[in-house]
Structure 1
């Protein structure tokens, strides 16, 4: 089977969509399937093309047996709604124009978070007369409303109609949470064609390891209890809460033992750095995004990982993929996200759940993790045990079985044109 996969994020980018897509495609390739990925020049989240790449009309490379075609797009930082829409739409157009040059395709997969990539997948599948699958990673445009990135308007209403059109036209929909599946069913989408394949972890790479001594020394973190956030610094993440918690930790009689490490970039990064300086938070260390190969070294520094999103109904339906990376490395979590992901933390016993945007609760959680060593070790061992249920290799096989069923069904109806 030849799978054409459309995504606007792919390694060397290190965000969750890039990692999921690459790890799934790598497994499908190892099982003998041909995989072609159409993506853009790596630039997320700073909006700057990575070293060694150019924003050309067409460039190709091979990554662990995966053919990767990189097409031109309008590149901008992950900030500013209008510019980001131009970014998304330019990739959509380029991906559509590139897809006819990929021959003998059996199916097309388009992945969100933003669904303009799914639009491109739909068009490409119609041109090739093959089935297509919508991989739903985010309820977009509902997430735009949730973070207040755009005021209510007829434009958002039209975008939502397009979203529903794509769900209906897809031969199958793969969601990353059960809550997303339930949302679609409530909105009239046939539940029989919706499968759930959660995010997971590459347990061959994310596994327990000693703290990186060189990094500890370089960052001035030796002998400190380190709570860290690794990921995008965006509107959805409400990382002001972490700074408020850092101020509370600093004010404790033994506050000097605690450090907060924030690694990543995003629309709110500069503002957070400025605010931390103005608050005199010398117990907060900011680190820019690092490569996929390097990020595990930084994970190793953490005694506890902080996962956090704004307090809004929409985010009760998401499962941050970093949760599984923490579990795989045996790092207990302080989980400031309500809903389905909080249920996983509690069911697996991987850490402490706290109310989103509650700095007092976060501060208390950090202190509890330090002081109650028995509980800490229990969270650590339970997380490692639970991570095996979310092995990316097995999840990739689960999704592949669904893709094969879609192709078999299409072939049963009529011969596929290539």
Structure 2
């Protein structure tokens, strides 16, 4: 089977980003022909050179479209549109695939995938990584009502034309169902991660902390994008409230819009350490050394349905997670007792919960064990590959 993947932001393990599709392609290419149509946006941002840019055997079609997390709205819209057009033209030139796999975000990539599928007269599968256009609209990036209406119409038409839909959370699936899309047309495959057989031991974790000058500290980790939606100002405020508790130290590893804010805070506050972005293959070690990790977002309804990669990485490392949004992630950490919920935007509540929970070592150890167990049972990407493969096979057979 020839599968053509349209994904604007391909990364590999040398990058500071999740590698969901790298893992999937590496497994699928053992049995199928894979063509990846992507931009070159991340290739220059590799932090190491330990991995092939694409898994061996995957055919790469790379189009030059720049992108970075600090872009303004206008620059992002230009990048989205430019990639969609170039991907559409490139997709028409490739050998006819059996099925097309279109990954949103942004929605324009899914549109290009759908158009190329129509051109080749083959089915396409729509992977929904974030709810677009709901997310940019709720963020205020699309203020004009006619444009919102047009985007919502495009979104629904893509759901309708896809042979199958892969949401990344049950919240996304419920939203798509509310638009009249039948449940049998959807299979939820959460973001997931690569799960090690065992988390690092206490001795190994302490060695990592010592390496960073954090020996004996209880590390509160935020690892990921410092985006407008991630509520970084609230985390800085929580750290400020805990300055008189020197055993608690906040570590930030990432990049993005709020980086200047963090740099300023790190200069003023003794309990903040900023690390540069880390390559993917080193991220689980970073999560392992933390007492707890933070998965924070601002209080937008659409964000209750998201499927953040840092959540799964933390669980795989056996590190409890604090989530700040209601929805399925809150239910997850509370049901499996592998973390806790603290309301979005409330720095005082977060600081108080950290101060209380980090004093209870027995509870933290139980949470560590539960975190790794639930990751093994539910969030291992390798276990998702047979389901993904079956989705493609059935889409082709129905056609």
What is the TM-score when the length of structure 2 is the normalising length?
0.91
Quick one: distance in 2 between partners of 1:321 and 1:11? 13
Q: Which moved more, 1:183-192 or 1:322-331?
A: 183-192
Kindly indicate whether residue 250 of structure 2 is the aligned counterpart of residue 260 of structure 1.
Answer: yes
Give the match for residue 309 of structure 1.
297
The Cα of 1:74 is off from its aligned counterpart by 3.9
Deviations along 1:133-180, one digit per CA (max 9) or x if unpaired, are: 110111111111222334243222212211111111111111011111
Quick one: distance in 2 between partners of 1:183 and 1:299? 31
SS in 2 for 1:11: coil
Give the match for residue 416 of structure 1.
none
Match of 2:333 among 345, 357, 362: 345
Deviations along 1:76-95, one digit per CA (max 9) or x if unpaired, are: 54431110011111111111
Give the match for residue 151 of structure 2.
159
SS in 2 for 1:319: coil
SS in 2 for 1:227: strand
Spell out the pairing of 1:19-30 with structure 2 (5 A cutoff): 19-30=19-30
Match of 1:380 among 368, 387, 391: 368
Quick one: distance in 2 between partners of 1:160 and 1:93? 20
CA contact (8 A) 2:199 2:288 kept: no
- Structure 2, unpaired ranges of 5+: none
CA contact (8 A) 1:74 1:86 kept: no
Q: Which moved more, 1:302-311 or 1:357-366?
A: 357-366
CA 1:397/1:377 → structure 2, altered by over 3 Å: closer, same or farther?
same
Quick one: distance in 1 between partners of 2:212 and 2:143? 41
Spell out the pairing of 1:4-403 with structure 2 (5 A cutoff): 4-12=4-12, 13-16=15-18, 19-30=19-30, 32-43=31-42, 50=46, 62-204=54-196, 207-208=199-200, 210-211=204-205, 213=207, 216-217=209-210, 219-251=212-244, 255-277=245-267, 280-388=268-376, 389-403=378-392
Quick one: distance in 1 between partners of 2:90 and 2:83? 10
Quick one: distance in 2 between partners of 1:29 and 1:349? 37
The Cα of 1:206 is off from its aligned counterpart by 8.4
- Structure 1, unpaired ranges of 5+: 54-59, 411-418
The Cα of 1:23 is off from its aligned counterpart by 1.4
SS in 1 for 2:205: coil
SS in 1 for 2:115: helix
CA 1:114/1:206 → structure 2, altered by over 3 Å: closer, same or farther?
farther
Q: Tell me the matched-pair count.
A: 392
Quick one: distance in 1 between partners of 2:265 and 2:248? 19
SS in 1 for 2:29: helix
Give the match for residue 413 of structure 1.
none
